[in-house]
Amino acid sequence: MTRSAAFAFASAASSAVREGFSALKIAPFDGVSWRTGDPRALRKAVSDGVARVAAVRAAVGPAVDLMVDCHGRFQRELAIEVARELEPFALFWLEDLVWADEDPEGLAAIGAAIRQPIAAGERELTLEAFFPIVSRRLAATVMPDVKHCGGLAVAQKVAALAEAGRLWVSPHNPAGPVATLASAHLAATLPNFTHLEYAWGEVAFRAELLDPPERIVAGELALPAGPGLGARLNPDVLAEHSFDPLAE
C-alpha cells in the first residue's frame, strides 16, 4: 500500500470530525479476502488495513468513537489475529469480522478470544434471524437495517429483543436520506440506541433530495417535525439527478 491510501482515510476522517461528527465508521479491510490462496497477498492486505486504522486514529485523536467494519472478510483465526493487532487503537467496535449468518460458531469463538466489542446483524432479514445473535450474545451491538429486516415494526422488535438481552442497537444505514429518516425515528424511540450510521460525503445534492432538506447539526441529524417521516422526496432534485441505465 502506498502512503496515500492511509492518508486518504485519515484526511476524510479529519474532515468529518471538523464538521462535528464525534464517531466514525471505516472499512479499511475491503482489499482482504481470506480465500485469496496467496498468503503473502493476504498478509499485505491485512497490514494495509491496519495501517489505515492507525492513520485514522492518529488523525482524529482518542476522543472520537472509531468503528471498523470488516464486511465478513476474515475467518476466525485471522479475525482473532487482526483484532489483537487493532487493540492499541481503542475501537468502539469491530463489525462483521465474519458474517453471523454464515459462521455463528466462528463469531462466538472470536468474541470469546478478543477484547473489543463486536457489532453484527446487518444481513438478517427476519426477527427470527436475530434471535441467535441475541440469545447467544454473539455481538454487543445489534444492527437491524429497516430497508430489509421487515421495516420499522420488525426493527423495533429486534431492538426490544436486544434490550432484553442487555445489548445495544445501532441501525445499519449505508443509505439515502429517506431510509436515514426512518432509521432516525426508530433510534429516537430506543433506550439502548448508540449510533446511527450516516453516508457522509457521497454527493453534494443529498440533503436537497428531501423537502424540507436533510439537516445535520454538529454531527447529529435534526428530525423534521412534519407528519410521517417528516419530509418527502423533492421531485425537482430527483429529476435533475435521475439516471436511466438503458440510456447509457
pTM of the model as a whole: 0.91
Residues 61, 225: Cα–Cα separation, whole Å: 35
Q: Is residue 2 pLDDT above 90, yes or no?
A: no
Q: What are phi and psi of 196, to 5 degrees?
A: -110, 120
Q: Provide the strand spans (E) within 1-149.
A: 23-26, 65-69, 93-95, 118-120, 141-142
Residue 213: DSSP 8-state: P
The pLDDT, as a whole number, for residue 4 is: 81
Residues 24, 60: Cα–Cα separation, whole Å: 10
Residue 36's pLDDT band, with cuts at 50, 70 and 90, is: confident
Residues 162, 141: Cα–Cα separation, whole Å: 8
The pLDDT, as a whole number, for residue 3 is: 63
Helices 151-164 and 127-135 meet at what angle, rounded to 10? 20
